[in-house]
Amino acid sequence: MSDTLVNKVGDKTLDVVLVGCGMPKRGMGWYHLTQLLEMENANVIGMVEPFFLNPTLCPTPPAAFTELVTQLEAASVVCTDSVSKLKEFEEKDTMCLIAGRTNDNPKLFKECVDQGAKVIYLEKPGAPTVAELQEMSDLAESKGVKVYLGYNKNVTPYVQKALALQKENAGSSITFCHNNSYATNELNECFTRNREGMLKNMAIHELALLVSFFGVTVDTVKDFNLNTHTLFTEKLSVWVPGTVVPNDEYISDFSRIGFSVTTKDSDNSVSVMADRCGGNVSFASVKNADGVEIEKFNFPDEETLKKVEKQCEEDPEMMPYFFVQSDDYSTLKNLVVDSALSGEPAQSVATIQIAIEALKLAEYFTEEAGRVLDAM
């Protein structure tokens, strides 16, 4: 983030409010904010943080967050704990970027619509359940609000290269592997912060790819095959930090999962793997009809990985995936902001309708995977 923040007002900029900031260097909202402040087409007018800016919930915010607020307020960015405390968005079209906890999204979404937002960029998966996300979609449609989801893999180059190669090779198939770099002893924090579960949180990006590019929906699935080997699929129950005996709590989720899907109108399968502790490198692998790998596209590639490793060494407090996915996050936001300014649809960006289908898959696959494991 720049040491000096400047408001960018004019017809060529879109007013933006960041909703759900989180902690510097840890929260997804904070990282979105740092990029928005650097974007020439975005003018950040507000930052809403329901926890750290609520004196009842958080009487003493961390120093790093307090410093951030001081910087923002010095640049005339309004910082508050509720969207409803901002001025209504009447003077100029405004986008709200919602990056709060998934359970809070339906409430935050309604507040943004009620306040007059014309565009909403919603972090995945959008809502805890399909029913809630559908209600949000219906509300947005009734108010003429455009809604896009932060599925950055829809625009990332390694996915686009793999999709192009698969189209060139009849009968070929793709495996999408999504890795994160949590240590095993960090999984309790990870599971607790992402209570919606692996498939609604981490692997939802890949499910959005299945919907967007392969026509996979709950209605079109013919076969769901879970790889039950523990190298590919593992479900754990971990202690929830902050809870103590006799009221200690535990939460269960997949630390990793692997499966393949075949649709009713195609004999070709598409596979997904996701691993919370798999490291910083994800990939898309294309195999021919005989199952021989044609090419694997790593993300980040070797050159980028060296850059990321250096960045991690220089700033070990930063979540590594911010460095890894920085360009994709920036591309998505620019596409949505440019779309709002031009009035044209944001090309390649997932709509809320795609998000609804992806969330349906997440619920269905979670149930199916659980059924398979329970039967073992």
CA-CA distance, 325 to 290, in Å (whole number)?
33
Q: What is the DSSP string of 214-259?
A: H---TTTEEEEEE--STTT-EEEEEEPTT--TTS--EEEEEEEEEE
Could you give the angle at which helices 352-374 and 130-143 cross, rounded to 10 degrees? 180
Q: Judge if pTM exceeds 0.85.
A: yes
pLDDT for residue 213? 94
pLDDT of residue 193: 83
In sequence order, the 6+-apart residues with CB closer than 8 A to the CB of 24 are: 30, 64, 65, 68
Q: Are 340 and 119 in contact (CB under 8 A)?
A: yes
Handedness of CA 61, 64, 66, 69 (dihedral sign): negative
Q: 216 in the Ramachandran plot: left (φ > 0), alpha (ψ -120 to 50) or beta?
A: beta
DSSP classification of residue 88: P
Q: What is the pLDDT of residue 224?
A: 97
Cross-sheet strand order for the sheet of 119-122: 78-80, 42-48, 14-19, 94-98, 119-122, 146-149
Sign of CA dihedral 181, 187, 192, 194: positive
- Measure the CA–CA gap between 302 and 133, rounded to whole angstroms: 38
pLDDT score for 6: 57
Strand ranges, E, within 241-375? 250-263, 269-275, 282-287, 293-299
Within the chain, which residues score under 50 in pLDDT? Answer: 3-4
94-98 and 119-122 beta bridge pairing:
parallel
Cα 133 to Cα 298: distance, rounded to the nearest angstrom: 32
Q: Nearest 5°: phi and psi at 205?
A: -60, -45
Orientation of helix 302-314 relative to helix 320-342, angle to 10°? 110
d(CA 364, CA 67): 43
- Rounded CA-CA distance 255/253 in Å is 6
CA dist 349 and 339 (Å) reads 10
Which secondary structure element, helix H or strand E, spans residue 64, and what is its range?
Answer: helix 63-74
